Structure 1
Amino acid sequence: METIIKLEIKDNAFARQFETKVETGMVSVEYSFQEKKIFLTKINVPENYSDEELISNFLKNIMETAVEKKLKVVPILPKIVTFFKKNPIYKELLPPGIRI
């Protein structure tokens, strides 16, 4: 199993986003819930931020949260679709009918 660097993630339910602090500000992934699915709709990063490894780890942490809460994950963003392609171990989190 691939190693996951545990990040301190806050689930800001009011803003409907997962958040983690980085040196230059905050990285967040916006979401919406529908039934037992979580739709990942947007990634926000500070200006000129390019730590793709941190963003990938952030998404892995979110996937682990989805596993714990027994949620299916619906990737809306191309960047999150790419994450699923690079990390096939998470494909079981996709709802039936969604192929990547």
Structure 2
Amino acid sequence: METIINLEIKDNAFARQFETKVETGTVSVEYSFQEKKIFLTKINVPENFNDEEFISNFLKNIMEIAIEKKLKVVPILPKIVVFFKKNPTYKELLPPGIRI
């Protein structure tokens, strides 16, 4: 299994996003719930923030939250689809019928 650096993630239910702090601001992943699925819809980063490794690690942390809460993950954003392609260990989180 890949190394996951645990980040301090806040589940901001009011804003419907997972958030974590970085030096230049906040990185967040917006979501919506439907039944036992979480739809990951958007990644927000501070201006000039392009640390792909950090974002990948942030997504890994979110996948661990989904596992803990027994949720299926529906990637809406192409960047998150790419994450699943690069991290096949998380493909079990995809709902039936979704192939990546």
SS of the equivalent of 1:38 reads strand
CA distance in 2, matches of 1:70, 1:80: 19
Task: Report 1:76-87 matches (<5 A).
Answer: 76-87=76-87
Question: For residue 69 of structure 2, what is the aligned residue in structure 1?
Answer: 69
Moved over 2 A (4+): none
What do you get for the CA RMSD once the two structures are aligned? 0.3
- 1:10 CA displacement: 0.2
* Deviation for aligned residue 1:26: 0.4
Deviation of 1:39 after TM superposition, in Å, equals 0.1
- 1:41-96 CA-to-partner distances (Å, cap 9, x unmatched) read 00000011011011000000000000000000000000000000000000000000
Unaligned 5+ residue runs, structure 2? none
CA distance in 2, matches of 1:9, 1:54: 13
Partner SS state of residue 19, structure 1: strand
Distance between the aligned counterparts of 1:20 and 1:2, measured in 2? 20
CA shift for structure 1 position 98: 0.2
